[in-house]
Amino acid sequence: MILRRACFVPGSLFQVSSGRGRKALTRLYSSESPEFSGKFSILDEKVSFQRYQTVYERLIRYPNGKRVSFDVFGNPRSDFKSVFVFPYDTRTKTVTLLREYIPGINEVMWGFPAGGFDPKKHKSLEDAARSELSEEAFLTGGSYFPMLESGGVSQDKYSKNMFHMFLVLNPVEDENPLPRDEEEYIQIVKGVTLPRLQKILAQGGMNLPSGFCGYRALDALSNPTPELASMLYER
């Protein structure tokens, strides 16, 4: 089936498609549809497993009254918040990346400095981002720009965690970097050009959160706000 055109109707979305000479009208639900205008109520939630991440059994009631149960996970010790940092050098037009061991797939992948927000240590999300940049990339300072207007992005359909992403311009070497977590296995790779980064992203060389951070930063650099542009192009 090949999508030919889409026409918008208030409160819903209809797409007109054709295949084998026949046309079909398919409704795609939007947030304004009656099916999604009601409340999704959390009736109960209890801990099923707890270690670094916590798994919860959550009971939900849909707007139509149907009850369903899900396993959802998150990290309450970080207030369900993590940060990602895109360290960019405006002079060389390069980014600092990491090569890091990923235990979930038992492989090394590309990525960005990232970690959990600790309410006991960090005064803000930017403070957490500065800490991760020091710990993982051995960089400090720079000018920070949040990359998401909404604040954060959901990690996964079944996750309570929210990821917050920062573009940092012109950080410098940290002569006294903060200590890394004991289990981290990281190699710092400096001077990565944006075309090379685009190739890494296109080849699936990063996990989804880091990949999203990379694409979001590339978009921000290509379409900068006035404040960001003034720093990107200053002499």
Tell me which of 50, 74, 98 is where a domain ends. 74
At 122 the pLDDT is 97
67 shares a domain with 19: no
24 shares a domain with 93: no
Contact in structure between 162 and 213 (CB atoms under 8 Å): no
139 shares a domain with 100: yes
Lowest mean per-residue pLDDT among 123-132, 157-166, 226-235 = 226-235
96 shares a domain with 27: no
Q: How far is it, in rounded angstroms, from Cα 150 to Cα 162?
A: 11
Q: Look at residue 120 and tell me whether its pLDDT is greater than 50.
A: yes
Per-residue pLDDT tens digits for 94-112: 999 999 999 999 999 999 9
Region 108-124: mean pLDDT is 97
Residues contacting 7, CB < 8 A, separation 6+ = 14, 15, 16
97 shares a domain with 42: no
Measured in degrees and rounded to the nearest 5, phi and psi for residue 171 equal -70, 160
Tell me which of 25, 58, 74 is where a domain ends. 74
Per-residue pLDDT tens digits for 10-28: 444 444 444 444 444 445 5
96 shares a domain with 68: no
Region 122-137: mean pLDDT is 98
106 shares a domain with 139: yes
189 shares a domain with 114: yes
Strand partners of residue 189: 97
* 0.85 surpassed by pTM: no
At 232 the pLDDT is 87
Average per-residue pLDDT for the chain: 88
CATH number for the domain including 220? 3.90.79.10
- Tell me the residue range of the domain where 68 lies: 38-74
109 shares a domain with 174: yes
48 shares a domain with 26: no
At 233 the pLDDT is 79
62 shares a domain with 18: no
Tell me which of 74, 102, 128 is where a domain ends. 74
Q: How far is it, in rounded angstroms, from Cα 110 to Cα 101?
A: 9
Contact in structure between 69 and 57 (CB atoms under 8 Å): yes
88 shares a domain with 43: no
Domain count, the chain: 3
Lowest mean per-residue pLDDT among 36-45, 113-122, 152-161, 188-197 = 36-45
Structure tokens at 161: 């965690």
